[in-house]
Amino acid sequence: MTKLDEFISSNRERFEQDLRQLLKIPSISTDGSYRTQVAEAADWVLAQFVELGFRTELIPTDGHPLVYAESAPVSNRPVALVYGHYDVQPPDPLDEWISPPFEPTVRDGNLYARGATDDKGQMLTHVKAVQSWIETEGTLPMQVKFLIEGEEEIGSPNLSHFLQSPDAAKRLACDVIVISDTSQFSKGHPAITYGLRGIAYFELILTGPKQDLHSGTFGGAVANPANALTKMLSALVNDEGKIQVPGFYDDVEALSDRERSQFSALPFNERSFMEQLGVAALAGERGYSTLERRWARPSFDINGIRTGYQGEGAKTVLPNQASAKFSFRLVPNQNPDAIAASLRTMLEELCPAGITLELKEMHHAPGFTVPLDSPYIDAAAKAIEQGFGHSPVFIREGGSIPIVSRFTDTLDAPTLLLGWGLTDDNTHSPNEKFSLADYHRGIKSSAHLWYELSRIAV
């Protein structure tokens, strides 16, 4: 592996340039006006694999294309499937960026750009690792397949469809799935993530009178959709942080004592966490620690509210409509469909007379954990130790990667979540960054991963 390690360190500059190129493409999947740029990012990723001599395919969908590539089969060795995403979240609020989101800029050893860590930078570590194998050894020690999608940030609707097609399972057949789209525990503590929360995302639209009204002439006599919205939303969670949707906790997988003590043994400092976020206190479900709340308990958050007068100064108006986007993070065993049905009944009962309700179900995905007693986990731990100089800690995380549980259903292979990011990388926020040192450590870990995995008997 010395030759490979040397190759990786002497190609740092070149690998950084490649990442910068990809980061310049504003591949914002949620916004239809960026369709060509999303396609451009797909083409860019595909071209990487074409250059490596992989068998490649740009798979069109009803939305954004899938990039598929595979190296040559190696008999008697396991097959890995790397999943990642080339799409990014919108960059706004734009005026809070120190350097523009699509002009990658280095400050203090960090590369700043939308998508730097989520997920272009992390995804590219695996591309650069296979490239390093090909350019030093001429080949990989095992077959590696890549499926890089452009709709992760919108819930992977078309990849879900693709997985249902009869030949998808055959094409993607593998022994292990590898994803780098999570985080290290903290600086200097690389991690293997063995669980993610799921999500159920909704939009609630309340409509009252046929148009906005004078709140003096009509206020107090006509139901106000904004008043109704705040009342209905605040009924969803109580002061102890317990979600009030009937049956919400019925299937929740409880935290074991063992897991609780493992979480509390991690070096987590509430003070510096609060400092990092600029808050004077933490909040959440009573009876649980911050890590438990973030990783293994459900939560409810309003993601956006729209209603009434938003302009400068005051306007006495009774708005005719109010809407909110909100989501629940789910833990293993909770059923998003059952929760959606129960929520609908609850909101219909809460909705006052004189107001009509529309509840849109947006994306949803279950939470999951993966077993830790597997040779694949052991191999990943060894590889990370090579790449980062420390053995990984085992954590869960609170975010969601909707496709993972669908992979598990279709492909019957365990998932390795190997995150190279940091929790202060500002994902989905202004000034997203990725540490360049972690980018290179990720490449090195990935290069070692193919070696370690190739030694597992299949």
Given the rule CB under 6 A, which residues bind ligand BES? 118-119, 152-153, 155, 181-183, 196, 199, 363, 397, 399-402
Give least dist CB 372 to ligand BES, A. Answer: 17
Comparison of 181 and 259: residue with beta carbon closer to ligand BES = 181
Comparison of 178 and 351: residue with beta carbon closer to ligand BES = 178
Question: How many angstroms from the chain centroid is the CA of residue 332?
Answer: 16
Comparison of 182 and 321: residue with beta carbon closer to ligand BES = 182
Give least dist CB 395 to ligand BES, A. Answer: 10
For residue 426, which amino acid is it? N
Closest CA to 367 of 238, 243, 231, 198: 198
Residue 198 interacting entry, from ligand BES, Mn ion, none, C-beta within 5 to 8 Å by type:
none
Closest CA to 417 of 185, 71, 77, 91: 185
Residue 256 · residue 350 · CB < 8 Å = no
Give least dist CB 294 to ligand BES, A. Answer: 9
Q: Token pair for residue 379?
A: 């191999």
Give least dist CB 401 to ligand BES, A. Answer: 5
Residue 180 interacting entry, from ligand BES, Mn ion, none, C-beta within 5 to 8 Å by type:
none
Give least dist CB 317 to ligand BES, A. Answer: 33
Q: Token pair for residue 264?
A: 């509390």
Tell me if 149 contacts Mn ion by CB under 5 A. Answer: no
Stretch 156-185: interaction string toward Mn ion, x if CB under 5 A: -------------------------x----
d(CA 66, CA 87): 11
> Could you tell me which residues come within 8 angstroms of residue 423 by beta carbon, excluding any fewer than 6 positions away?
183, 186, 276
With contacts defined by CB under 5 A, how many residues of the chain interact with Mn ion? Answer: 3
d(CA 307, CA 319): 7
For residue 143, which amino acid is it? Q
Comparison of 190 and 402: residue with beta carbon closer to ligand BES = 402
Comparison of 334 and 400: residue with beta carbon closer to ligand BES = 400
Residue 415 interacting entry, from Mn ion, ligand BES, none, C-beta within 5 to 8 Å by type:
none
CA-CA-CA-CA torsion for 185, 114, 63, 179, nearest 10 degrees? -20
Tell me if 425 contacts Mn ion by CB under 5 A. Answer: no
Q: Which residue do the tokens 């509210």 mark?
A: 305
Closest CA to 142 of 360, 376, 415, 330: 376
Residue 339 interacting entry, from Mn ion, ligand BES, none, C-beta within 5 to 8 Å by type:
none
* Beta-sheet pairing, 176-179 with 433-435: unpaired
Q: How many residues does the chain have?
A: 458
Give least dist CB 350 to ligand BES, A. Answer: 26
Comparison of 16 and 152: residue with beta carbon closer to ligand BES = 152
For residue 321, which amino acid is it? Q
Residue 413 · residue 175 · CB < 8 Å = yes
Comparison of 101 and 402: residue with beta carbon closer to ligand BES = 402
Q: Token pair for residue 142?
A: 């095992």
Question: How many angstroms from the chain centroid is the CA of residue 230?
Answer: 28
Residues of span 87-126 touching Mn ion by CB under 5 A: 118-119
Give least dist CB 348 to ligand BES, A. Answer: 25
**Residue 62: Cβ-neighbour burial (10 angstroms; 0-12, 13-18, 19+):** exposed
Give least dist CB 296 to Mn ion, A. Answer: 20
Give least dist CB 265 to ligand BES, A. Answer: 21
Give least dist CB 89 to ligand BES, A. Answer: 7
Residue 400 interacting entry, from Mn ion, ligand BES, none, C-beta within 5 to 8 Å by type:
ligand BES
Tell me if 151 contacts Mn ion by CB under 5 A. Answer: no
Which residue is nearest to ligand BES, using beta carbons? 399
Residue 182 interacting entry, from Mn ion, ligand BES, none, C-beta within 5 to 8 Å by type:
ligand BES
Q: What separation in angstroms does the CA of 381 have from each of 164, 448, 456?
A: 32, 10, 14
d(CA 202, CA 362): 5
Q: Token pair for residue 273?
A: 């966490």
d(CA 44, CA 128): 14
Comparison of 336 and 419: residue with beta carbon closer to Mn ion = 419
Residue 125 · residue 420 · CB < 8 Å = yes
Q: Residue 199 in 3-state DSSP?
A: strand
Residue 199 interacting entry, from Mn ion, ligand BES, none, C-beta within 5 to 8 Å by type:
ligand BES
Helix, strand, coil shares of the chain as percentages rounded to 5? 40, 25, 40
Residue 259 interacting entry, from ligand BES, Mn ion, none, C-beta within 5 to 8 Å by type:
none
Comparison of 119 and 292: residue with beta carbon closer to ligand BES = 119
Give least dist CB 399 to Mn ion, A. Answer: 7
Q: Residue 146 in 3-state DSSP?
A: strand
Comparison of 37 and 132: residue with beta carbon closer to ligand BES = 37
Comparison of 4 and 159: residue with beta carbon closer to ligand BES = 159
Which residues in this chain contact Mn ion in the complex, by CB under 5 A?
A: 118-119, 181
